[in-house]
Chain A
């Protein structure tokens, strides 16, 4: 008893309050989103708004269970929980139901459960446990296995295939960032994404030429004009040879010509720099080569590995395509809904776009449209403000931990919420490509609501017991 009341007093009530407020707002919003004139009661169980109330009640019960459980249990069973969900992810590939093209759901009677929503919680625990145990070490020896812990579920989910969930798992790298992963990894990742998007806009060949030009400029700056001249001579010769070869003998496109030219230049130049022990030009050349190879890998991956509708979504976000009846339809309708909300919105239950059933998935992935249309800029900013508050609060809670286990887990929670929040709202306003992931606590659905509740409350519970020794 003593311990219980202790727990209650040590819970972070700010977080709990934010959670409750968001769930209630979400529930009211779903009512507005799929309002059916023939079922006007918000408690009507045949409609989504009635069902969401059920899910909310169940979530509260779940939250209580989580709080009542001893926090040491989460610590000790971290790997079991992770393993259990890996098994479920394997199982769903075999006996799961296919909805919208992905085998991601178990159907048990009238209920549907999506294991990938809960597996995030297991992954967070396992990752935290691992980082906690290796807290003295650092560098590749720690980060490589940690990456493997993340990529395990990712690959299983990619097999379903559910690319939306896969994207959210990359949030876990934020945890690794905080726990010491090399900054260069993240800079390279950002650079890679930027290069990829630029290539979509400008095309492979111009980008390749651009990278070559930039390399030469860096070479002048770092090693001086004469060195650059020598490099340029080599490049011109190999470029010419490659062009003759490519165009007349082998008959390949300009892009392959460039690759051959660069590789040949490397062969010549590499030998030369090794002989003369020139370090900087060698490094710059290495970057050039990697850049060019990356360009072509990316081009191949985009066109051959991504499905056409995924390619379309990225192109639409970049403004390169509009496709108003296909992939662009969701985005256009979403923009119209939110944009027409103006400063203070059309008022509760007055959203014409959402009423007209124009916005597809308006109670799940596009739930933010209802906020934007009915509550306008004020309402939208309010919801964003709530999320920011929650996120910053999670950061503060994570930082006040003495045990790396709880801190790492807390960062998992933070990172997942950040990614869901930014990607979901971003896609409704055209800042992110359309990726089907829910907005925590607002989107309709038991699995997502419970998944997030458990994720959050395990952290709240661990935080409440932060003064106890765990391991």
Chain B
């Protein structure tokens, strides 16, 4: 056997030597030549101090500060570095008992004698001040600075969200966070966590046995500076938000107000609410448990996480679709004899003049008119079957933001529910159902579910005569920033602008019109408000009161949806609230004090719980 390549073994031998040499030289360099790695004197220890940067601030649309930071301090201990000290003095500075002290030390020792653990979280600045002066007496203890949130006004709890500690599941998935780090857990704090948190820095220090800092390890080579969080400018008008929360006190429900030309949310109220400062710092876990146990569910954001049948406010959509499909005209007349009667089906209606055209049907909220219109839409001869017309009907709704999440920059948004053809096919059998089977959809009852956000978005679509931007709560990320790209895109619904006019006229009539109009209480003298009342049936108790509106009629500046739960007719409760908010936003002044008083005094207890 000839072995032509035998000499290659020398190359491989050399390879081994070279590899080993590279390693040895590098080791020699970092272990011997480079003095900075040394931990110096035998008894020095390394201490890693995390630099937590200031979390990004949040401003309102006019530049008013809403959320900022306050300093907090965690007290850490490394048990093996402690030696006998005056525990009485120590406990007195911290304000703890000897039993408490022993318990905490035991926990720290159990965790590790040599690794640092948190002895006490979030000590106040005063305590920190006193402690810092005498810290040399307590070797093994040191302080790490943190930031906690502080609010300029006790409002916006749901939309701002709160900051909590990272949980284990996230720790496993994301390497940036260490145990004990804070992270935005809900609201804006959560959606914009990456921008708000900045980047942690680290200082590695050399510390001697007397708890004195001797300097930076390795001349600070392993240190990094913290990068502060990015500031955010919210779309919210803080004054409007405060006013909305004030009006909704003692009531359950929500308010969503949007600027139609941009999709910027001016106010997002969910009631009952709570002071966001309750969930900051040491009191957070206790308060959170209390809030969670409260039967009225104050932590629940009703504007986004609750889906209701929209009731009469939905008639506007059916009107628009009917016009667009050409099965009805603004002048189409339908009669109403205290209701809609078709064969075995009766849909009741309140007493009002008859017959009516479309704008008057809107102002008077006539059920019969819309039942007729809906039936014509589904029995459209242009399509092969009711099922096919239904698909098209649904498509219009989806284009207007119903049935799917809109994509607001807040977590936990519900998508609502618009039944599809397949839904009824499954229940009744394929194509074995007709317009009359699902007639309740005509007046916004039945299986439809919409969130207050989606209803406010609908008001926006009407205000804009057929288009919208996805509603969002942050308009500027960073000093030179812009909103996230998703929110700069205009969505065209495909319903022609001229089809909106009769409905706008009807909504104007509802507020400003003569007898029969359902929301006269909301009328403003100087500005034309266009609105639609609604009453959502509630099988568990009193009906919910709904009102959607926009103002002024031409070149609208605000679109709004107000929900008041368990309050009966929409005109009595939701409409005045919407009207006051519109007045506040557009004129910055409330002239109708009597109305404001009435609303503020209103207490609506939630009926039939669970």
Neighbouring B residues of A180 by C-beta, 8 Å? 4-5
Smallest CB separation, B218 vs chain A (Å): 8
- The answer to whether B27 touches A338 (Cβ under 8 A) is yes
B1 touches A431 (CB 8 A): no
* A340 x B16 contact (CB < 8 A): no
Contact (Cβ within 8 A) A429 B30? yes
The 0/1 profile, CB within 8 Å of B marked 1, for residues 224-247 of chain A is 000000000000000000000000
Q: Is there an interface contact between A356 and B16, defined as CB atoms closer than 8 Å?
A: no
Report how far A93 CA is from B176 CA in the complex, Å.
Answer: 30
What residue in chain B is nearest A415 (Cβ atoms)? B12
Set of chain A residues within 8 Å of B112, measured between Cβ atoms? 37, 357
B34 in contact with A339 (CB, 8 Å) = yes
Q: How far is the CA of A178 from the CA of B12 in the complex (A)?
A: 8
Q: Which of A264-272, A284-292, A328-336 contacts B (4 or more CB under 8 A)?
A: A328-336
Chain A interface residue count, Cβ-Cβ cutoff 8 angstroms: 54
B30 touches A339 (CB 8 A): yes
Known: A178-B5, A356-B115, A404-B1. A339 touches B224 (CB 8 A): no
B12 touches which of A353, A358, A395 (Cβ 8 Å): A395
B332 vs chain A, min Cβ distance (A): 54
Measured CB to CB, the nearest residue on chain A to B175 is A326
Asked whether any CB of chain B lies closer than 8 Å to the CB of A414, the reply is yes
Interface-lining segment among B17-25, B474-482, B495-503, B539-547: B17-25
Which stretch from B37-45, B233-241, B463-471, B552-560 is at the chain A interface? B37-45
Interface check A372, CB cutoff 8 A: yes
Output the least CB separation between A408 and chain B (Å): 11
Do B39 and A352 have beta carbons less than 8 Å apart? yes
The answer on a CB contact under 8 Å between B115 and A388 is: no
Tell me which residues across on chain B come within 8 A of A174, comparing CB atoms: 12
Q: How far is the CB of B1 from chain A (nearest CB, A)?
A: 7
Least CB distance, A321 to chain B, in whole angstroms: 12
Closest chain A CB from B138 CB (angstroms): 20
B38 contact from A324, A340, A402, A422, Cβ within 8 A: A340
Min CB gap A357→B, angstroms: 6
List chain A residues, Cβ under 8 A from B352. Answer: none
User: How many Å lie between the Cα of A418 and that of B18 in the bound state?
Assistant: 11
Does A348 sit within 8 A of B, measured CB to CB?
no
A388: contacting residue among B4, B12, B20, B45, CB under 8 A = B20
Q: How far is the CA of A343 from the CA of B115 in the complex (A)?
A: 25
> B343: shortest Cβ distance to chain A, in Å?
60
Cβ–Cβ contact B224 & A322, under 8 A: yes
Give min CB distance, B175 to chain A, whole Å.
Answer: 5
Residue B46 CB within 8 A of the other chain: yes
Within 8 A of A (CB), among B44-72: 45-46, 48
Bound Cα distance from A460 to B445, whole angstroms: 82
Partner of B31, one of A135, A377, A387, A402: A377
Find A324's partner among B23, B24, B202 (CB 8 Å cutoff).
B202
B164 smallest CB distance to A (angstroms) = 20
**Is A111 interfacial (CB-CB < 8 Å)?**
no
User: Which residues of chain B are within 8 angstroms of A51 by Cβ–Cβ distance?
Assistant: none
- The answer for the CA separation of A426 and B23 in the assembled complex, in Å, is 7
In the complex, whether A391 has a CB less than 8 A from a CB of chain B is yes
Q: Is A380 an interface residue (CB 8 A)?
A: yes
Determine whether A381 belongs to the interface, using a CB cutoff of 8 Å to chain B: yes
- Could you mark each residue 110-148 of chain A with 1 if its beta carbon is under 8 Å from any beta carbon of chain B, else 0? 000000000000000000000000010010000000000
CB pair A178–B1 under 8 Å, yes or no, is no
Q: Is B200 an interface residue (CB 8 A)?
A: yes
Q: Is B106 an interface residue (CB 8 A)?
A: no
Contacts of A414 in B (CB 8 A): 12
Known: A178-B5, A342-B38. A430 touches B26 (CB 8 A): yes
| Cβ-based interface call for A325 (8 A) | yes
Q: Is A336 touching B23 in the complex (CB atoms < 8 A)?
A: no
* Closest chain A residue, CB of each to CB of B177: A325
B423 at the A/B interface (Cβ < 8 Å)?
no
Whether the pair B32, A352 counts as a contact (CB closer than 8 A) is no
Q: Which residues of A contact B39 (CB under 8 A)?
A: 340, 352
CB contacts (< 8 Å) of A391 on chain B: these are 16
Q: Does A26 lie at the interface of the complex (its beta carbon under 8 Å from any beta carbon of B)?
A: no
Q: Which positions 328-381 of chain A face chain B at CB distance < 8 Å? A: 329, 332, 335-336, 338-343, 352-353, 355-358, 372, 376-377, 380-381
Q: Point out which of A357, A376, A431 has the most chain B C-beta atoms below 10 A from its C-beta.
A: A431
In this assembly, does A384 line the interface, its C-beta being within 8 Å of a C-beta of chain B? yes
User: Most chain-A CB neighbours within 10 Å: which of B17, B112, B116?
Assistant: B112
Instruction: Using A380-B27, A414-B12, A429-B23 as known contacts, say yes or no to A388 and B1 having CB atoms under 8 A apart.
Output: no
Residues of chain B within 8 A of A429, CB atoms compared: 23, 26-27, 30
Residues of B within 8 A of A255 (CB): none
- Contact between A422 and B23 (Cβ–Cβ < 8 Å)? yes
* Residues of chain B with a CB closer than 8 A to A372's CB: 27, 31
Whether B114 contacts A352 by the Cβ 8 Å rule is yes
- Is B113 interfacial (CB 8 A cutoff)? yes
Query: What residue of chain A has the Cβ atom nearest to residue B4's Cβ?
Result: A180
Question: Given the complex, which residues of B lie within 8 Å of A329, measured CB to CB?
Answer: 175
A340 close to B32 (CB less than 8 A): no
**A residues 302-332 touching B (CB-CB < 8 Å):** 322, 324-327, 329, 332
Determine how close the nearest CB of chain A comes to the CB of B509; give it in whole angstroms.
55
The answer to whether B17 and A380 touch across the interface, beta carbons within 8 angstroms, is: no
Residue of B nearest to A360 (CB): B175
Q: Is A12 an interface residue (CB 8 A)?
A: no
When C-beta atoms are compared, the residue in chain B nearest to A431 turns out to be B26
With A380-B27, A392-B13, A429-B30 in contact, is A336–B1 under 8 Å at CB?
Answer: no
**Contact A395–B13 (Cβ < 8 Å):** yes
Q: Which of the listed residues A340, A357, A377, A385 has the most CB atoms from chain B within 10 Å of its own CB?
A: A340
Tell me if A177 counts as interface (CB < 8 A to partner B): yes
Is residue A425 contacting chain B, with contact meaning CB distance below 8 A? yes
Residue contact B20 to A387, C-beta cutoff 8 Å: yes
Contact indicator B37/A340 (Cβ below 8 Å): yes
Chain B residues within 8 Å of A377, by CB: 27-28, 31-32
Which B residues are CB-close (under 8 A) to A399?
6, 9
Is B98 among interface residues, defined by CB-CB distance under 8 A? no
A404 vs B2: C-alpha distance in the bound complex, in angstroms?
11
Residue numbers in A under 8 Å from B113 (CB-CB): 37
Binary interface encoding of chain B residues 134-159 relative to chain A, with 1 for a CB under 8 A from any of its CBs, else 0: 00000000000000000000000000
CB atoms of B222 and A336 under 8 A apart: yes
| A395-B9, A395-B13 given; 10 more Cβ-contact pairs under 8 Å | A135-B1, A177-B8, A178-B9, A179-B5, A336-B37, A339-B36, A352-B46, A352-B114, A388-B16, A418-B16
24 A-B pairs with CB atoms under 8 Å apart are: A37-B113, A135-B1, A178-B12, A324-B222, A325-B202, A336-B217, A340-B46, A342-B31, A342-B37, A343-B31, A352-B45, A372-B27, A377-B31, A381-B24, A381-B27, A384-B24, A385-B20, A388-B16, A391-B16, A395-B13, A402-B1, A429-B30, A431-B22, A431-B23
The 8 closest A-B pairs by CB, nearest first: A339-B37, A339-B30, A377-B31, A422-B19, A355-B114, A388-B20, A391-B16, A356-B115
